[in-house]
């Protein structure tokens, strides 16, 4: 069994390599037609892993940046620890994404939740960049992949009648509340 410290420091690098493999599978798997909604849901996973790579590896610095924003006092305790970073990113993306995609068999609301999480997170990077008037780690992938993919899928689901207005509303509300709950969790840790 490897040291937890190895995973704390290298999970995003493992994710980057996994993302390349997932992309290869997506393009070679004839059972999921390229461009189909199911294919786009699965595409969100490797694209988000690239987003995580930008946040935590190259150029990295997202954890430190968020800790500065959450800590009002110099020398305050670290709010966003390596363990929390690992648990949130693996849990919210690597584990929750496939679950929400598989649950599409039950209701379209689940992939709507997924696409909302992807889009909402992208917009938080853009808004933070506007407010701070500078780059923040994760901004580039948010602009070129997360926001366009999320918006495209959400709008297409509605326009093509795959999701009703009610299903879109519930999924978008649930996805937004999940993301807000994460912010509240971090805010409570900062007290």
> Tell me: the pLDDT tens digits for 75-120?
667 788 899 999 999 998 999 999 999 999 999 999 999 999 999 9
Give residue 75's pLDDT.
60
Q: What's the domain range around 91?
A: 4-189
Give residue 150's pLDDT.
98
Retrieve residue 47's tokens: 């694209």
Give residue 74's pLDDT.
61
Cβ burial of 163 (10 Å; 0-12, 13-18, 19+) is buried
Closest CA to 172 of 182, 160, 158: 158
> Tell me: the pLDDT tens digits for 4-52?
688 888 999 999 999 999 999 999 988 889 999 999 999 999 999 999 9
Q: How many domains does the chain have?
A: 1
């Amino acid at each position: 069994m490897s040291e937890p410290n190895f995973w704390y420091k290298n999970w995003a690098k493992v994710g980057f390599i996994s993302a390349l493999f997932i992309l290869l599978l997506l393009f070679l798997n004839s059972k999921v037609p390229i461009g189909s909604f199911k294919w786009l849901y699965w595409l969100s996973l490797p694209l988000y892993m690239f987003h995580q790579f930008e946040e935590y590896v190259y150029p990295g610095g997202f954890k430190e940046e968020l800790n500065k924003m959450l800590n009002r006092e110099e020398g305050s305790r670290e709010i966003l620890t390596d363990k929390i970073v690992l648990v949130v990113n693996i849990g919210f993306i690597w584990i929750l994404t496939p679950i929400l995609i598989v649950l599409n068999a039950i209701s379209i609301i689940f992939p709507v939740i997924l696409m909302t999480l992807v889009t909402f997170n992208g917009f938080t990077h853009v808004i933070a960049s506007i407010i701070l008037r500078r780059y923040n780690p994760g901004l580039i992938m948010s602009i070129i992949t997360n926001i366009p993919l999320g918006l495209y899928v959400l709008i297409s689901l509605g326009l093509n009648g795959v999701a009703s207005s009610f299903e879109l509303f519930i999924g978008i509300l649930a996805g937004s509340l999940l993301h807000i709950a994460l912010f509240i969790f971090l805010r409570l840790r900062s007290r």
